[in-house]
Structure 1
Amino acid sequence: MSAAALLIVAMLLDAVVGEPRWLWRRIPHPAVLMGRLVHLLDARLNDGDNRHARGVAAVLVLVIVGAVLGSVLSGLGSVIECGVAAILLAQRSLVQHVNAVGDGLRMSIQEGRRMVSRIVSRDVAQMDGTQVARSAIESAAENLSDGVIAPAFWFLVAGLPGLMVYKLVNTADSMIGYRTETYAAFGWAAARLDDLLNLVPARLTAALIALPARCFDWQGIYADARLHRSPNAGWPEAAMSRALGIALAGPRAYDGQMREFPFVNAEGRRDLTPVDIDASIAMLWKAWAGFLALCVLIVVL
């Protein structure tokens, strides 16, 4: 089977089955194992002098491990390859987590805060309903790119080795890719490689969000995407804000400190409700369906 055909099966399997909790209660999830490997490299290498070089070495280890492991698993047959790919995609899981925020917010502001704290790193204790909804929608847009479109894209490009390498690098970026005293040097290579690997997928995700909504304000999406701290994360967020006609981003608190980030689509509606979360979930599925259709087209051609 071609990579596109395998990916179609994997995407459908992920969408239908999602994360089988009974399985991950018995064995560690691959994402957990990836995190453990990154933690081990951090503990062993992030010390002493030449932390930039040590960080590069750590990333090289992750790339080699991902490429070799992906090649070995691919050699075990199409069933294993599809199964592993489905496990490493996160469409259904993403939808479930975002939907839980909307359901929680309908119950109470406290439940909404509790649910959104599971998917964002910002302070949630003082959030109002609009801020909870906005945080959930932003997370939906960004994680659509990181957790679904980007891994699927790299599977199309380089098969299971490409997908494994992407997931390991992305995991490393989420754990050590920070501009702090501890990780500014050591995590630099992971952060920059993650930026490179997400360069095309982030923009593709923006298109997959914008096109079903008939949103063709590419100049506005480009301008707002540049406001984001990340060279990539702003693209799906800017597209989602215009697809739904709402303002995203804006001020938020981290570690007790309010940060004045600019609004994305500042002219959009700012009072958000669980209905807007529902609308963002619909956009997640439309974008997913768009990528699936692209895979079908590749197979047909």
Structure 2
Amino acid sequence: MSAAAILALALVLDAVLGEPDWLWRRMPHPAVLMGRAVAWGEARLNSGDMRRARGVVMVTGLGIGALILGAVLQELGWAVEVVVLAVLLAHRSLVDHVGAVADSLRFSLGDARLMVARIVSRETGAMDGPAVSRAALESAAENFSDGVVAPAFWFLVGGLPGVVFYKLVNTADSMVGYRTPRYEAFGWAAARLDDLLNWVPARLSALMIAGLGGRLGDWPAITADARRHRSPNAGWPEAAAARVLGVALAGPRAYDGEMRAFPFVNPAGRGEIGADEIDAGVTLLWRVWMAALAVLAVAALLAG
């Protein structure tokens, strides 16, 4: 079976099942296992001198293990590939979590703050409605790139070894890729490799979002906004989504009790936004998902 057909089936399986609680209550999710592996390596290597080199050793060792595991799973046949890939995709869980923020915001700002805190790392306790909405939309755009487009891209490039390797690096970055005294040196390798692996998917995500939203003509403005973002990759899908939805995203937010003056993405967009804009963002992601599925279906048919 072609890679396009396997990816199309995995996208559908993920969309139908999402993250079934009945399954992950009985066994650990692969992301949890990857997290445990990273935590094991960090506990043993992140000390003493040469922490950057030690971080390189951890990422290299775990990365080789991920490639081997992906290759073994791939040899078990296309049905296993579909299931494993569906588990490693995160479209359904993403739109469910983002949609839950909109549902909560319609009834209670406090509940909405709690819901958005599940998907962002910034402080949410003092957020007003528009800030909650911006956070939800930024998470939707960024995680569509990291959780859907990037795994799909690396599967098409490198099969299951490629996508398992990507997910391992992405997990490591989310755990140790911080500029803090503990992680700045040790997490350097994970952070830089994650930036590299997401370089193409982030820009591809922006292209898909802008194209499906009819805003390809805004590409120069999207590029300019993306380059002002603190992340080399996250700004691309955020800037595209902001233009399509006509909203201003990013801007000031609090981390560790400190308000940081990050610039707005699409500053001319609407600032007073709420649940309706979040719903529009979810709809946009589904439209991009359906277009990608249609392209994969055609490619699978042409591949015979």
Under TM normalisation by the shorter chain, which class is it?
over 0.9
**SS class of match (1:258):** strand
The runs of 5 or more residues in structure 2 that have no matched partner are none
1:163 maps to which residue?
163
Q: Which amino acid aligns with 1:228?
A: H
Per-residue Cα deviation, 1:46-90 (whole angstroms, up to 9, x for no partner): 111111111111111121111100011111111111100000100
Structure 1 distance, partners of 2:144, 2:173, is 17
The runs of 5 or more residues in structure 1 that have no matched partner are none
Structure 2 distance, partners of 1:236, 1:282, is 15
Q: Which amino acid aligns with 1:109?
A: L
Structure 1 distance, partners of 2:61, 2:157, is 21
Structure 2 distance, partners of 1:44, 1:288, is 41
1:34 maps to which residue?
34
Per-residue Cα deviation, 1:180-234 (whole angstroms, up to 9, x for no partner): 1111111101111101100100000001111111002111010000111111010
Q: Which amino acid aligns with 2:281?
A: S
Q: Which amino acid aligns with 1:122?
A: R
Q: Do the aligned residues in 2 keep the contact of 1:34 with 1:168 (CA within 8 Å)? A: yes
Percentage of matched positions with identical amino acids: 63
Structure 2 distance, partners of 1:78, 1:213, is 34
Give how far 1:17 is off. 1.1
1:172 maps to which residue?
172
Pair 1:110 & 2:110 matched: yes
1:234 maps to which residue?
235
2:74 maps to which residue?
74
Q: Do the aligned residues in 2 keep the contact of 1:104 with 1:111 (CA within 8 Å)? A: yes
2:226 maps to which residue?
225
Pair 1:284 & 2:297 matched: no
1:199 maps to which residue?
199
2:259 maps to which residue?
258
Structure 2 distance, partners of 1:287, 1:185, is 37
**SS class of match (2:259):** strand
Give how far 1:243 is off. 0.6
Q: Do the aligned residues in 2 keep the contact of 1:149 with 1:291 (CA within 8 Å)? A: no
1:139 maps to which residue?
139
**SS class of match (1:226):** helix
Structure 1 distance, partners of 2:188, 2:297, is 37
1:296 maps to which residue?
297
Structure 1 distance, partners of 2:124, 2:185, is 30
Q: Which amino acid aligns with 2:231?
A: S
**SS class of match (2:228):** coil
CA RMSD after TM alignment: 0.9
Per-residue Cα deviation, 1:92-132 (whole angstroms, up to 9, x for no partner): 00010001100010111111111101101111111111111
- Number of equivalenced pairs: 301
Give how far 1:296 is off. 2.5
Q: Which amino acid aligns with 1:190?
A: A
1:247 maps to which residue?
248
Give the stretch that moved more between structures: 116-125 or 289-298. Answer: 289-298
TM-score of the superposed pair, with normalisation by structure 1: 0.98
Moved over 4 A (4+): none
Per-residue Cα deviation, 1:32-59 (whole angstroms, up to 9, x for no partner): 0000001011001111111111111111
